[in-house]
Amino acid sequence: MKCEQIQELLSPYLDGVLEDETKAKVEEHLQHCSFCREELESLQATLNILHSLDQLTPPADFRSGLKKRLVKYGLPWYRRLGSAKWFAWGAAAAAVFIALIVAGSLVVRLPGVSSGELGGGLAMQKQEKVASQVAEPELGTAEYRKAASYDKQDIQIPPQGRIAGVEADRERGTEEVKDEYQQKVIKTAELTLEVKDIQAVSTEIALLAQRAGGYVTDSSVREEESGKSGYVTIRVPQERFEAVIKEIEGMGTVRSRHITGQDVTQEFYDTEARVRVLKKEEESLLELMDRAKSIEDIMKVRQELTRVRSEIEMLEGRLKYLSRMTDMSTIHVTLREQKTPDDQISTQEVQGVGTRALKGFIRTTNAIIKVLGEMVVGLGTALPVLILICVVVAVIWGGRIIYLRNKKE
């Protein structure tokens, strides 16, 4: 199995929902592939972090408050609308709406009143509304903190990402990424080659990966009736990606070539900006921790701090994974044994004839032994039925003989 297929199965492997055959293949691949083992360890570390989080306990007045709200909003909406209170409010709203429509039609018909003047008045009202909204201090600014009259006796945890102008920093970080960044692309290549000596080419590809500053993640050679076949997976620095592919293609006849590139630039820098935002949020929570006086306030801040730190660790793990995947590119090479052309004579097929003949003799002998064993098992299985049939036939035959004998007498 390829590394991409194994990585998709790592999560169900940790959950223990894979079938035995698939689980065995994953474990066999993990024994030979260090890259997939690192990915499994990263997922396991993230899972351990999630398991280590403390369970949140609801406030003491949670149940009573929930009960009051359920009692208050327990009736369906159509039954609440039928009550006298809602009927009165609905009738009043309908009367006001009709009055506004009638008044508007009368104003439009008045002489000297143009639609431009009405539009100007509406525009002036809209500008005044916008100005009143702009005048309000924004959450996270100095004006807001000055007007909020902070109470030291009651610590309030601000919404996520809104501490001390954190949201503005996040937006500013995203804008900076658009202006100046290094592109992050996960490159993968799949090659199929026909070669004369699969073992020699497999070794040569491994040495090529080492010279380029990379390494082998998976390598196998199989010998079947149709011929030998091999599979090699290497990871090389991205700047050597094209050069290594060119050298590999020179080792045999290229039958297929497929190169893909996944652009993760936006995800990488968005995650990086998110980490910066969370670290600032962590600093703000530490300041709140120093100012907290009651045990209840300390517990609230500590729970929020644990959540923020866990999210930072998970995002930093994702950044490391993206960095590994973009710094080192993956090349999958499938090797097939080159067939001898019809216009050439080759002794390659004669090599190992004795060994292949011995293996064929052993396979045939094992097949015969297996058939004989199955026949013995089948006979043993059917033996009780055969005995029962013989007993029934003997009883019928004996009864017939007795009947004929009595008839003659």
pLDDT in tens, 75-107: 555 455 445 455 555 555 655 566 566 555 554
The pTM for the full model equals 0.42
Looking at the structure, tell me whether residues 44 and 185 fall in a common domain: no
- Domain count for the chain: 2
pLDDT of residue 97: 60
Task: Give CA separation, 6 vs 9, 175, 188, 218, 391, in Å.
Answer: 5, 37, 15, 12, 60
pLDDT of residue 144: 38
Most confident of the following: 39-53, 224-238, 251-265: 251-265
Q: Does residue 140 come out as left (phi exceeding 0), alpha (psi in the -120 to 50 range) or beta?
A: left
Report the mean per-residue pLDDT for the chain: 75
Residue 222 has pLDDT above 90, yes or no: no
Looking at the structure, tell me whether residues 177 and 292 fall in a common domain: yes
- The residue range of the domain holding 187 is 156-341
Tell me, yes or no, whether 353 lies in a domain.
no
Contacts of 329 (CB under 8 A, 6+ apart): 186, 187, 188, 189, 235, 236, 237, 238, 241
CA distance 249 to 190: 11
Looking at the structure, tell me whether residues 45 and 169 fall in a common domain: no
Residue 334 has pLDDT above 50, yes or no: yes
Looking at the structure, tell me whether residues 47 and 160 fall in a common domain: no
pLDDT of residue 232: 94
**Beta-carbon neighbour count of residue 252 at 10 Å?**
20
**What mean pLDDT do residues 33-58 have?**
78
Tell me, yes or no, whether 351 lies in a domain.
no
pLDDT of residue 76: 56
Tell me, yes or no, whether 280 lies in a domain.
yes
Q: Which of 297, 312, 341 is the last residue of a domain?
A: 341
Residue 387 has pLDDT above 50, yes or no: yes
CA distance 204 to 209: 9
pLDDT of residue 403: 79
Tell me, yes or no, whether 177 lies in a domain.
yes
pLDDT of residue 346: 56
Looking at the structure, tell me whether residues 301 and 176 fall in a common domain: yes
The secondary structure element, H or E, covering residue 255 is strand 253-263
pLDDT in tens, 163-221: 444 444 445 544 444 445 788 999 999 999 999 889 999 999 999 999 999 999 999 98
Tell me, yes or no, whether 40 lies in a domain.
yes
Residue 162 has pLDDT above 60, yes or no: no
pLDDT of residue 31: 84
For tokens 């216009």, name the residue: 343
Tell me, yes or no, whether 272 lies in a domain.
yes
Q: Which of 341, 372, 395 is the last residue of a domain?
A: 341
